[in-house]
């Protein structure tokens, strides 16, 4: 606190929390993650793991740097998230033919696990979209893309 300044009061803190973009996005994200995690539980995957496997499958083989960019994660966070998937035999990191560096791809077990998880994810996705209204989701999804891209644009 600077000399002569007064401590912030509780009402001002409450008002700041109500409008804080970071807090409100994280709160919504935690609620959605908890719901998707519960629905995906029979597959053995958490929501983040499901998306990682889906993005790897979509881009196979995919460079870790490209996957980190898509997930808006730094490389060390991505490595911590990949390690248990590789340890479970779902992901394989190897050299790409004719390219430098490593690339990630799914193992046969990874493909089976992802295939089993997709109907669970579809159920969770449908429930969430229907709960908020398809028109609202259609309006929100591109806004979330812009939010995710905004810090990189500055």
Tell me which CATH code domain 45-153 carries.
1.10.10.10
pTM (2 d.p.)? 0.85
Asked whether residue 100 carries a pLDDT value surpassing 80, the answer given is: no
At 101-132, the pLDDT tens digits run 889 999 999 999 999 999 999 999 999 999 99
**Helix 108-132, helix 21-40: angle, nearest 10:** 120
Domain residue limits, the chain = 45-153
Q: Which range, 36-40, 73-77, 93-97, 142-146, has the best average confidence (pLDDT)?
A: 36-40
Task: Classify residue 62 by its DSSP letter.
Answer: B
């Amino acid at each position: 606190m600077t000399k002569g300044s007064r401590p912030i009061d509780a009402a001002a803190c409450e008002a700041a929390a109500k409008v804080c973009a970071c807090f409100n996005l994280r709160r919504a994200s935690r609620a959605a993650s908890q719901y998707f995690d519960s629905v995906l539980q029979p597959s053995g995957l958490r929501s983040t793991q499901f998306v990682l496997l889906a993005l790897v499958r979509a881009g196979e083989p995919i460079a870790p740097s490209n996957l980190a960019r898509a997930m808006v994660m730094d490389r060390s966070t991505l490595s911590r998230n990949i390690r248990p998937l590789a340890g479970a035999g779902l992901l394989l990191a190897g050299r790409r033919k004719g390219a430098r560096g490593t690339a990630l791809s799914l193992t046969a077990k990874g493909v089976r696990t992802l295939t089993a998880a997709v109907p669970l994810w579809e159920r969770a996705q449908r429930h969430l979209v229907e709960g908020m209204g398809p028109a609202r989701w259609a309006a929100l999804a591109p806004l979330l893309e812009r939010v995710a891209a905004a810090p990189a644009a500055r």
